[in-house]
């Protein structure tokens, strides 16, 4: 198109239509790898250069500072005037707004922005009857309430947060926060909306200033951000949002996919432009991803078409267990590196951080360099180091470093003063810290510290007895499970998960699994700790950028790799058995994101069994695999099993039988419509029996 400015000539027709659109509002549905960042930045330049829009009147909002900087730099490269456009993250815009309108928001102009820990501390001051952990849970719910735009007096608050005390605690927290003149992160979105609705003069001033509003990654916006957008958009404003409803995967953080689905209803005269040309992947990869996400009802719909021709079909590897899965990923990475010389071409994706352990161990053994993105290495994670510290003290009661780490974790009231008394007693004797702690009670000043130290000694001594009792063919995993449970670490880190949305408890379960190959004995424990230390030392070697990437699916947004290995595609793991409705649809979107990270090769892995809490459980392939037409992939490792039967009977389910006692479901096979599923149960006695639950009343599901 010779009549077009040079910076527009390389755009495809859909991209060009989005850039040159004017009049009503615009929703750009930008599929994975469709060049959306280029479209946004080019649109800003087009508005400024060709339509005479003042750059100061353009507000562009995204979710990361990196994306905001990239937008500004790209637009300014086309026209330097674009550097004067107002490009911010949602939260930085909110902070800027509140600094300039502090009085209207009831704030000190020099307000402090409280982080999560500050919020917990403030809440603890208003509710001293709660423990700090309990305050953390409440603070997390308050943050989520603000994501939904709900104030303490909101009528809908009780429906979303049914705890009868939550409204009062939230109100007390808000009152105290306002008294301090400070804000938390939720306020950076909530308060500007409130001010804009309440103060006509301020609203008019902002409506006059920002005539063009663009929002990137709109599928990740929450309700409060949606309300802020509506408050900022004055009459005659041009609103353009860019996003992909198929990549909305942060519901657990408050993201609301309905924001993008309902945008045309909320903003009148909206035109939808679909960017469906994919510049990243081969068509075979796009077809696999599209087949799964197309099952979702909550989507606007689009079909990605690859610009690149050719490409191999996706591969489905049916593997025996997590060790074979790690070996398969290693072979794929080695084959790619042998052809290109680049380890970094390959990425291994998994659902939870805990799954990285098998890959770390196997890659270390084979000398494959790797890097973990968005997380620390397994054995360096806080919760794992806590459990290992307990095990180290069991193995060697003279281990001062690890004794210091766990004697008061979780909190038992053993402070620094009490600890120093124990250490001095140990130094004066044979260095055995456990013996010193046993005799130090009378020297401690408070009943709380004496009780806390006594409970710690009893715990460790009880665990040492288990370790030292001859137990032929017993696995060390049982002891590790007792350590994380009896110490309180499991409960402590499960509470932290609830507060922070992390997966620490799952990592502790994975540590239990890691001990399954070692015998229950002092020698077995020493060998286990030695193996871990060797893994650590290998991991501590200087990381090269030229390495295989190990990464969770959630952390892959915005990334791409020539070769992608998607692991853990078992029913019960991905998706979970309790994923239904909106949760299931989000998990389909997560699969779509994972698959579309691949440029050239896509590998899907499903294991027949995995260790769960030190016990092996059987799995069937993920329902997502069965949602892909068989002609779209090649199968390695045998024939694809039938789908998992519908209903409550799943591998890993705890059960009770009137005659055989407690047990766990290890396998479920589809039966006939008349019989229902055939369920295999391993009881605590070690006995494995099979049942048709439809015909027995003695078997009860406990989950």
pLDDT digits (tens, 9 = 90+) for 466-521: 888 766 558 888 899 999 999 999 888 887 776 666 778 888 888 888 888 888 88
Which member of 14, 174, 184, 216 is catalytic? 216
476, 524 contact by CB (below 8 A): yes
Check 36, 72, 588, 615 and give the catalytic one.
Answer: 36
Mean pLDDT of 67-80: 88
* All residues at 6 or more sequence positions from 52 whose CB lies less than 8 Å from its CB, including other chains: none
Q: DSSP state, 570? A: B
pLDDT value at position 358? 92
Largest interatomic CA distance in the chain: 91
pLDDT, residue 542, reads 41
User: Do 552 and 374 touch, CB atoms closer than 8 A?
Assistant: yes
| pLDDT (average), residues 377-393 | 87
For 624-664, the pLDDT digits (tens) are 999 999 999 999 988 888 776 667 787 778 899 988 888 88
Beta strands in 25-92 (DSSP E): 26-30, 58-62, 86-89
Q: Reduced to 3 states, what is the DSSP secondary structure of residue 662? A: strand
**Residue 534's pLDDT band (boundaries 50, 70, 90)?**
low
Q: Identify the pLDDT of residue 147.
A: 92
Share the mean pLDDT of the chain.
Answer: 88
Residue 429, number of CB atoms within 10 A of its CB: 12
Beta-carbon count within 10 A of 556 CB: 23
The catalytic position among 20, 37, 342, 491 is 37
Which tokens belong to 653?
């389910």
Lowest mean pLDDT among 8-12, 94-98, 371-375: 371-375
Distance in angstroms (rounded) separating the CA atoms of residues 406 and 511: 17
Told to judge if 597 belongs to the known catalytic residues of this protein, a careful annotator would answer: yes
Hey, what are 4's tokens?
A: 């077009």
- For the ranges 39-53, 293-307, 396-410, the lowest mean pLDDT is seen at 396-410
Measured CA to CA, the distance from residue 526 to residue 538 in angstroms comes to 19
Torsion angle of C-alpha atoms 693, 697, 698, 702, degrees rounded to 10: 70
Query: H helices then E strands: how many in the chain?
Result: 27, 24
36 in active site: yes
User: Mean pLDDT: which of 156-160, 384-388, 523-527, 561-565 is highest?
Assistant: 561-565
Residue 301's φ and ψ, nearest 5 degrees, are 90, 130
DSSP-based helix, strand, coil % in the chain, nearest 5: 50, 15, 35
Residues whose CB is less than 8 angstroms from the CB of residue 200 and which lie 6 or more positions away in sequence, other chains included: none
List, for residues 327-362, the tens digit of each pLDDT value.
999 999 999 999 999 999 999 999 988 899 999 999
Residue 579 above 80 pLDDT?
A: no
Question: What is the spatial distance between Cα 397 and Cα 487, in angstroms, rounded to a whole number?
Answer: 16
CB atoms within 10 A of CB 634: 12
557 is catalytic: no
Of 15, 89, 219, 247, which residue is the catalytic one?
247
d(CA 47, CA 35): 19
C-alpha to C-alpha distance for 152 and 341, rounded to whole angstroms: 58
Report residue 613 as tokens.
């809490």
217 included as an active-site residue: yes
**Residue 320, φ and ψ in degrees, nearest 5:** -75, -45
Active site residue 115: no
**Poorest-pLDDT segment among 162-171, 431-440, 475-484, 565-574:** 431-440
65-78 and 36-49 helices cross at what angle (nearest 10)? 50
Residues 224 and 149 sit within 8 Å (Cβ to Cβ): yes
Q: What is the pLDDT of residue 541?
A: 44
Catalytic hit among 79, 174, 187, 217 = 217
Q: How many CB atoms are closer than 10 A to CB 672?
A: 9
Active-site residue, 37 included = yes
Torsion, Cα 145 146 151 157, to 10 degrees, reads: -20
Q: Is the model's pLDDT at 446 over the cut of 90?
A: no
Predicted TM-score (pTM) of the model is 0.77
Q: What confidence score (pLDDT) does residue 154 get?
A: 93
Considering the candidates 144, 351, 377, 597, report the single residue annotated as catalytic: 597
Tell me if 201 sits within 8 A of 195, measured CB to CB: no
pLDDT tens string 183-236: 898 999 999 999 999 999 999 999 999 999 999 999 999 999 999 999 999 888
Angle at 253 between CA 249 and CA 257, to 5 degrees: 45
Question: Mean pLDDT over residues 156-183, rounded?
Answer: 89
Task: Look at 21-35, 507-521, 548-562 and tell me which has the smallest mean pLDDT.
Answer: 507-521
Q: Quickly list DSSP for 370-429.
A: EEEESS--GGGSHHHHHHHHHHHHHH-TT-HHHHHHHTTSS--S--HHHHHHHHHHHHHT
Q: With contact defined as beta carbons under 8 Å apart, do 142 and 170 qualify?
A: yes
How far is the C-alpha of 343 from the C-alpha of 369, rounded, in Å?
7
């Amino acid at each position: 198109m010779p009549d077009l400015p040079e910076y527009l000539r390389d755009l495809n027709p859909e991209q060009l239509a989005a850039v040159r659109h004017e009049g009503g509002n615009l929703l750009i549905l930008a599929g994975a790898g469709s060049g959306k960042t280029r479209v946004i930045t080019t649109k800003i330049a087009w508005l400024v250069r060709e339509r005479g829009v003042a750059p100061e009147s353009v507000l562009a909002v995204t979710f990361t500072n990196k994306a905001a900087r990239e937008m500004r730099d790209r637009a300014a490269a086309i026209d330097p005037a674009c550097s004067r456009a107002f490009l911010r993250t949602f939260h930085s815009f909110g902070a800027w707004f509140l600094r300039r309108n502090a009085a209207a928001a009831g704030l000190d102009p020099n307000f402090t922005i409280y982080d999560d820990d500050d919020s917990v501390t403030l809440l603890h001051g208003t509710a001293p009857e709660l423990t700090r952990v309990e305050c953390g849970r409440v603070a997390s719910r308050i943050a989520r309430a603000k994501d939904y735009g709900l104030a303490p007096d909101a009528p809908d608050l009780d429906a979303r947060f049914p705890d009868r005390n939550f409204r009062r605690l939230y109100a007390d927290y808000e009152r105290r926060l306002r008294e301090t003149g400070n804000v938390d992160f939720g306020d950076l979105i909530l308060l500007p909306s409130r001010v804009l609705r309440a103060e006509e003069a301020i609203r008019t001033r902002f409506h006059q200033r920002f005539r063009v509003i663009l929002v990137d990654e709109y599928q990740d916006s929450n309700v409060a951000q949606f309300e802020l957008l509506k408050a900022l958009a004055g009459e005659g404003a041009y609103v353009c949002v860019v996003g992909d409803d198929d990549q909305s995967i942060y519901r657990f953080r408050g993201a609301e996919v309905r924001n993008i689905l309902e945008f045309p209803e909320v903003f009148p005269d909206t035109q939808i432009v679909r960017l469906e040309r994919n510049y990243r992947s081969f068509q075979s990869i796009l077809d696999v991803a599209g087949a799964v996400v197309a099952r979702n009802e909550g989507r606007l719909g689009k079909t990605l078409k690859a610009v690149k021709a050719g490409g191999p079909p996706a591969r489905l590897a049916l593997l025996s267990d997590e060790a074979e899965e790690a070996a398969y990923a290693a072979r794929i990475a080695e084959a790619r590196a042998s052809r290109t010389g680049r380890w970094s071409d390959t990425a291994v994706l998994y659902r939870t951080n805990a799954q990285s352990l098998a890959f770390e161990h196997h890659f270390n053994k084979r000398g494959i360099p790797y890097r973990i993105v968005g997380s620390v290495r397994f054995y360096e994670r806080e919760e794992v180091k806590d459990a290992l510290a307990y095990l180290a003290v069991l193995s060697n009661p003279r281990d001062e470093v690890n004794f210091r780490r766990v004697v008061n974790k979780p909190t038992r009231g053993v402070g620094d003063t009490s600890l120093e008394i124990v250490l001095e007693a140990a130094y004066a004797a044979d260095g055995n810290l456990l013996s010193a702690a046993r005799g130090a009670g009378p020297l401690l000043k408070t009943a709380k510290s004496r009780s806390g130290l006594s409970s710690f000694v009893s715990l460790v001594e009880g665990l040492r007895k288990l370790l030292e009792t001859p137990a032929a063919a017993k696995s060390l995993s049982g002891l590790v499970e007792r350590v994380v449970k009896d110490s309180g670490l499991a409960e402590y880190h499960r509470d932290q998960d609830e507060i922070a949305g992390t997966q620490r408890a799952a990592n502790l379960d994975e540590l239990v699994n890691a001990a399954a190959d070692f015998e229950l004995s002092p020698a077995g424990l020493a060998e286990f700790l030695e193996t871990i230390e060797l893994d650590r030392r290998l991991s501590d070697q200087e990381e090269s950028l030229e390495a295989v990437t190990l990464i969770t699916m959630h952390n892959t947004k915005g990334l791409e790799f020539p070769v992608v290995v998607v692991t853990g595609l078992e029913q019960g793991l991905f998706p979970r058995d309790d994923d239904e409705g909106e949760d299931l649809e989000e998990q389909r979107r997560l699969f779509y994101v994972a698959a579309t990270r691949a440029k050239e090769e896509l590998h899907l892995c499903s294991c027949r069994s995995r260790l769960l809490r030190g016990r092996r459980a059987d799995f069937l392939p993920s329902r997502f695999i069965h949602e892909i037409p068989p002609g779209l992939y090649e199968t390695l490792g045998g024939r694809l099993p039938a789908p998992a039967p519908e209903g409550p009977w799943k591998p890993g389910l705890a059960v009770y039988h009137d005659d055989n006692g407690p047990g766990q479901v290890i396998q479920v096979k589809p039966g006939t419509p008349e019989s229902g599923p055939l369920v295999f149960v391993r009881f605590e006695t070690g006995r494995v029996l099979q049942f048709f639950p439809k015909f027995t009343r003695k078997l009860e599901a406990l989950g």
